[in-house]
């Protein structure tokens, strides 16, 4: 979640690519609606533009059925499209609730221990439903911290994702997505997969 050193960046990038290539085809499909009345198979749309469609025109995000309701609730809490939260979880852990990163991030949403301490409500960081709940609340908090920087909905989403990866202070410092390769790649991958 904070910027990492060079070796860790390479390992994380390789793991991210492997997760996308191996896990994406086997995960169930869920598009980006953000209300019960929306079409769950519709692509995520930001400012009228569909995002995250693969070469076949289908969304590249697949939500495992057991997490569908929790992801929808997380997105609703965060005020973000379902496709964004789903793509973020896919990028963070590949839907593995027992994931542990080389830098110590844990669980389905990959919270660092000190961040989980604040947002986990005393629950187990490896409980996927607690992780998805914390994800929604934390993303809402981050969105509030960067809201004055964004001039449209797409920027709000991009800056919130950047704040999750590099910290809200860095997004504020640079007036948008920080010039960190890892953070730029993180935002690009999630926006592309949403």
Q: Tell which residue, 13, 190, 187, has the closest CA to residue 90.
A: 190
Instruction: Say if CB 19 and CB 96 are below 8 A apart.
Output: no
Q: Which of 36, 37, 92, 114 is catalytic?
A: 92
Distance CA 138, CA 92 (A): 15
Beta strands in the chain (DSSP E): 44-46, 49-51
Distance CA 89, CA 124 (A): 17
Please say if 92 is a catalytic residue.
yes
Q: Tell which residue, 63, 66, 55, has the closest CA to residue 33.
A: 63
Active site amino acids = 92
């Amino acid at each position: 979640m904070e910027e990492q050193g060079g070796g860790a960046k390479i390992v994380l990038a390789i793991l991210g690519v492997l997760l996308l290539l191996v896990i994406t085809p086997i995960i169930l499909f869920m598009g980006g609606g953000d209300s019960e009345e929306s079409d769950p198979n519709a692509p995520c749309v930001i400012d009228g533009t569909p995002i995250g469609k693969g070469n076949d025109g289908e969304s590249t995000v697949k939500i495992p059925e057991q997490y569908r309701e929790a992801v929808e609730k997380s997105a609703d809490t965060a005020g973000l499209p379902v496709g964004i939260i789903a793509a973020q979880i896919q990028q963070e852990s590949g839907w593995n609730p027992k994931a542990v990163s080389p830098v110590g991030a844990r669980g389905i949403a990959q919270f660092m221990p000190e961040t989980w301490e604040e947002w986990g409500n005393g629950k187990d960081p490896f409980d996927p439903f607690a992780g998805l709940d914390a994800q929604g609340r934390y993303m809402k908090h981050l969105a509030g911290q960067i809201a004055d920087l964004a001039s449209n909905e797409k920027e709000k989403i991009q800056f919130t994702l950047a704040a999750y990866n590099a910290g809200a202070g860095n997004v504020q410092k640079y007036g948008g997505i920080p010039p960190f390769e890892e953070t730029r790649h993180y935002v690009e991958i999630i926006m592309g997969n949403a």
